[in-house]
Every structure is written in C-alpha cells, then in structure tokens.
C-alpha cells in the first residue's frame, strides 16, 4: 500500500543481509511460452538495492529494494507498468525467485557473472541483400513531408531513431539523444525520429509526439510514421530485414549509406552498460564524421 511521504518501498527489517546481489548476473526468466535470457546489474549498499534488468529490446528501468538475510525484493515502474522481483540466495553466486508483472508471475534463476552480456545489439536488424540505404517520407508534426533526400540531411551523418511516445526505453534514448544533439549538432550531425503511435491518426499522434518533444526539449524532427508495432515499423522501412524492438537506431554516413543498426536501448538504470553504450556511440559517430 502506498502512503504519502513514506519513501521506502519495502518494510524495513533489522535482519542484516547475509549475502550481496552487487554486480552483474545472468538471469533466466521462465515464462509459460519461453525462457528469456536477461542480464541483471545491481548495486548494493548495506541492505539497500538499486539496479535494473536488461533485455535485447531494452531494460526494465530503475529497480529499488532491500536485502533481508538471504532474501531480497525489488520493484520498478516501467512507464505505466509495475514490476516486482523477489528472490532468495541459494549460494553467494546463485538465486531463485519470481518476477511479477500485471500479466503473469514467472520463475527466475540467477547466476553471478561479471562478464554477463546480451547478444550483439547490432545483429538483429540489418539491410537486406542488394540494399545500401533506407528511404522514407513521413509528415513532421507540422504536416510537412520529410525525407532523407531533403537538403538538411545531405552530406550529414544522420541518426534515425524508431520510437513511440508510449515506449519507456524510447523516452530514455531520446532523453540522451536530445542533450547529445544540442552539444554535437554543429559537427555535421542530424537526427530524425520516426514515431509509431497507438492510433494510426495524425492528429492524435501529433498531440502525443508534440508532448514528447516538449517534455524532453527535443530540437530534431520527429515524424509520424504509422501505428505502433514492429510489423508496421518493418513495413515502413522495407530495406531492412525487420524491426524487432522499440527503439531501433539506424546510423547513416555522409554518403547516405546505412552503416549500423542498433536494436534496443540500455538506459541510465543499467549503470555500467549505459556508460559503455555512450562510449561506443561516440566512437562510432567520431568514425563516421572523420570519413
């Protein structure tokens, strides 16, 4: 039960932590349909826990919780969706527990692994054979059609981010890109957001995407590209084999050729993974600008 002014998410206990969740973990989330491999990254100070769980499509954002003896509990709110993670240590390097969402409760198993990592995020989406570039023409929020062939994008390094105002990881990515763009736009870089919204209606999308632009102080174009969903996004960019997650980010060089496609986004809640992404991102942009 939530209580105004009562900040701790879980009942405080005098039982000291017997073990630590600190560090990186391979985590299996076992659902009725499948077993999903994820990565957990946590920071433990005393009995207090923070961190997140990473998936190939993004992360579950900011978890916070406590360790009591051999048991721990964490919760997070990914957009409008609450998550609860409960576990118990079997050894100092293994745990079992439950991952609870509004839709289902799944069994989980964790194994400590300092080198825990997700599959290559640049491998899921790629250009189909015979293609070297992508093309599109969608309206911006003023109703004007915008495409990569327009003069502002010629001879520039262009980042195309596939997003939705409803997508928490997209918010995290565009919060990063918004600040980054202000600092780097003068170097010869442009960003275009392709927004896929809950309703396939321009006026509705204009309202939600304009709110997103204002909230994050986004100064690059966001276009309305269609209704939310990976199938719609894949149809909008037929030069790619598929779009499997929101967000997906396309890196285009000065000659208009697609150089890399990145699936998902590990945001600030993921700690070292977010820091590693920023280094990798800037190295790639520096390389494309230098060519």
- CATH number of the domain at 100, please: 2.40.128.120
Higher pLDDT: 37 or 260? It is 260
Same-domain status, 159 and 69: no
In a domain, 8, yes or no: no
Helices (H), 125-242: 168-184, 202-216, 230-236
Are 62 and 52 in contact, with CB atoms under 8 Å apart? yes
Same-domain status, 153 and 262: yes
pLDDT, position 6: 62
* pTM score: 0.93
DSSP for 76-87 reads: EEETTEEEEEEE
Same-domain status, 164 and 222: yes
pLDDT, position 1: 55
Average confidence (pLDDT) over 251-266:
97
Average confidence (pLDDT) over 117-129:
95
Closest by CA to 268, choosing from 59, 9, 26, is: 59
In a domain, 264, yes or no: yes
In a domain, 265, yes or no: yes
Looking at every residue in the chain, the average pLDDT score rounds to 94
Confidence band (pLDDT; 50, 70, 90) for 4? low
pLDDT, position 7: 62
pLDDT, position 3: 64
Confidence band (pLDDT; 50, 70, 90) for 9? confident
pLDDT at residue 14 greater than cutoff 60 = yes
In a domain, 128, yes or no: no
The tally of domains found in the chain comes to 2
Average confidence (pLDDT) over 13-18:
85
Q: Residue 257: which CATH number?
A: 3.40.30.10
Domain that holds residue 220: 137-290
pLDDT at residue 2 greater than cutoff 70 = no
pLDDT at residue 5 greater than cutoff 90 = no
Confidence band (pLDDT; 50, 70, 90) for 36? confident
In a domain, 202, yes or no: yes
Helices (H), the chain: 168-184, 202-216, 230-236, 272-290
Same-domain status, 153 and 283: yes
Cα separation, 270 vs 41, whole angstroms: 6
Which of 64, 97, 112 terminates a domain? The answer is: 112
Same-domain status, 146 and 57: no
pLDDT, position 10: 79
Confidence band (pLDDT; 50, 70, 90) for 80? confident
Same-domain status, 148 and 265: yes
Same-domain status, 65 and 160: no
- The pLDDT tens digits for 127-167 are 999 999 999 999 999 999 999 999 999 999 999 999 999 99
pLDDT, position 34: 72
Same-domain status, 170 and 281: yes
Confidence band (pLDDT; 50, 70, 90) for 283? very high
């Amino acid at each position: 039960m939530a209580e105004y002014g009562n900040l701790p998410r879980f009942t405080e206990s005098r039982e000291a932590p017997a073990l630590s969740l600190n560090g990186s973990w391979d985590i299996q989330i076992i659902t009725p349909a499948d077993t999903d491999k994820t990565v957990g990254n946590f920071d433990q100070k005393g009995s207090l826990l923070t961190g997140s769980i990473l998936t190939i499509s993004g992360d579950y954002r900011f978890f916070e919780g406590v360790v009591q003896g051999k048991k721990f509990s964490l919760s997070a709110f990914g957009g409008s969706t609450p998550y609860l993670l409960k576990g118990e240590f079997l050894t100092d390097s293994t745990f079992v527990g439950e991952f609870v969402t509004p839709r289902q409760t799944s069994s989980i198993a964790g194994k400590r692994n300092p080198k825990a990592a997700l599959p290559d995020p640049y491998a899921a989406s790629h250009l189909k054979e015979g293609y070297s570039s992508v093309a599109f023409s969608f309206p911006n929020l003023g109703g004007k059609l915008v495409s990569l062939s327009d003069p502002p994008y010629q001879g520039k390094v262009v980042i195309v981010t596939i997003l939705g105002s409803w997508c928490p990881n997209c918010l995290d990515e565009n919060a990063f890109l918004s600040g980054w763009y202000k600092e780097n736009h003068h170097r010869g870089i442009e960003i275009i957001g392709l927004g896929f919204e809950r309703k396939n209606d321009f006026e509705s999308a204009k309202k939600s995407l304009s709110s997103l632009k204002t909230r994050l102080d986004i100064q690059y174009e966001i276009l309305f590209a269609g209704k939310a969903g990976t199938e719609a996004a894949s149809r909008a960019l037929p030069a790619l084999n598929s779009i499997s997650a929101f967000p997906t980010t396309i890196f285009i060089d000065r000659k208009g050729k697609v150089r890399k496609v990145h699936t998902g986004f590990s945001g600030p809640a993921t700690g070292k993974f977010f820091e590693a992404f920023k280094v990798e991102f800037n190295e790639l942009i520096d390389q494309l600008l230098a060519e």
